């Protein structure tokens, strides 16, 4: 479940959104080319602008904040989540002393880790007994996979000092790039230069938007079917 805040012409309206409703908002947003941005707590912001009758641009958004934030997704937790999201359906089973574990293909997620995934509402199960990730888990994974950073522009002085003091051949290039800032993403797919840091931040934002749209379009059918069932 999510806390939903809709910013519209008349102000803001708050409510509660089910997982199915949140998925609907995401898919509609992706279809209409909205800006979609996942947050590390497992929430998402869908925003867009529309032209008012008098010509002014109006900003609109829907923010979805999970009632249970996903918390820190360590590498170990991410591995477990990836196993649950794998091609083979995951189910609950019992370990040798009868504790509940998740069986995902050939992998078994131990009882303590299974209990933690359940307590954090990163996984849920349907009536048929299939264990799946929650939408908040998937959004948290998306945000964790795409952490963008921008570099501080070198500036004239620093580039000058480097070339004078250290006689580095890159000094001149540094001066040419005085205001330039590099945008990179933890996924390794973004290496771009902005003319200044604002532009670099925009490049990072555009990348996260593109990845979020691709994420929505690539959601597995069995997942979307289970959410909307």
Binding site for Zn ion (CB under 5 A): 146, 185, 187
CA 150, 155, 158, 161 torsion-angle sign: positive
Q: Which is nearer to Zn ion, 40 or 121 (CB)?
A: 40
Q: Which is nearer to Zn ion, 120 or 146 (CB)?
A: 146
Give the whole-angstrom CA distance, residue 110 versus residue 80. Answer: 10
Min dist. Cβ of residue 30 to Zn ion (A): 17
CA 51, 54, 59, 60 torsion-angle sign: negative
Q: Which is nearer to Zn ion, 114 or 181 (CB)?
A: 181
Min dist. Cβ of residue 122 to Zn ion (A): 21
Q: Which is nearer to Zn ion, 90 or 183 (CB)?
A: 183
What are the contacts of 209-217 at 24+ separation with CB within 8 A? 209/35, 209/36, 209/37, 211/142, 211/145, 211/146, 211/187, 212/30, 212/36, 212/37, 212/38, 212/44, 212/142, 213/30, 213/36, 215/38, 215/138, 215/142, 216/26, 216/27, 216/29, 216/30, 216/36, 217/30
Min dist. Cβ of residue 82 to Zn ion (A): 17
Helices (H), 15-134: 19-31, 75-84, 111-119
3-state class (DSSP) for residue 167: coil
Min dist. Cβ of residue 80 to Zn ion (A): 22
Min dist. Cβ of residue 120 to Zn ion (A): 24
Min dist. Cβ of residue 195 to Zn ion (A): 21
Q: Which is nearer to Zn ion, 25 or 190 (CB)?
A: 190
Q: Which residues contact 100 (CB under 8 A, 6 or more apart)?
A: 92, 93, 94, 111, 114, 115
Q: Which is nearer to Zn ion, 162 or 187 (CB)?
A: 187
């Amino acid at each position: 479940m999510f806390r939903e805040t809709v910013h519209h012409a008349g102000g803001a309206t708050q409510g509660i959104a089910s997982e199915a409703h949140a998925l609907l908002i995401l898919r509609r947003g992706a279809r209409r080319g909205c800006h979609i941005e996942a947050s590390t707590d497992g929430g998402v912001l869908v925003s867009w602008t529309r032209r008012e009758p008098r010509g002014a641009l109006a900003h609109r958004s829907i923010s979805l904040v999970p009632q249970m934030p996903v918390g820190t997704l360590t590498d170990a937790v991410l591995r477990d989540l990836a196993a649950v999201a794998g091609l083979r359906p995951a189910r609950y089973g019992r370990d040798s002393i009868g504790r509940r574990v998740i069986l995902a293909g050939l992998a078994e997620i131990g009882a303590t880790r299974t209990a933690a995934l359940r307590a954090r509402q990163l996984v849920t199960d349907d009536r048929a007994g299939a264990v799946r990730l929650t939408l908040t888990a998937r959004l948290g994974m998306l945000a964790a996979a795409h952490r963008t950073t921008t570099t501080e522009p070198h500036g004239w002085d620093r580039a000058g000092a480097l070339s004078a003091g250290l006689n580095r051949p890159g000094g001149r290039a540094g001066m040419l790039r005085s205001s330039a800032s590099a945008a990179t993403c933890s996924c390794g797919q973004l290496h771009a230069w902005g003319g200044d840091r604002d532009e670099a931040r925009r490049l990072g934002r555009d990348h996260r938007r593109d990845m979020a749209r691709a994420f929505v379009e690539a959601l597995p059918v069995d997942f979307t079917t289970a959410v909307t069932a």
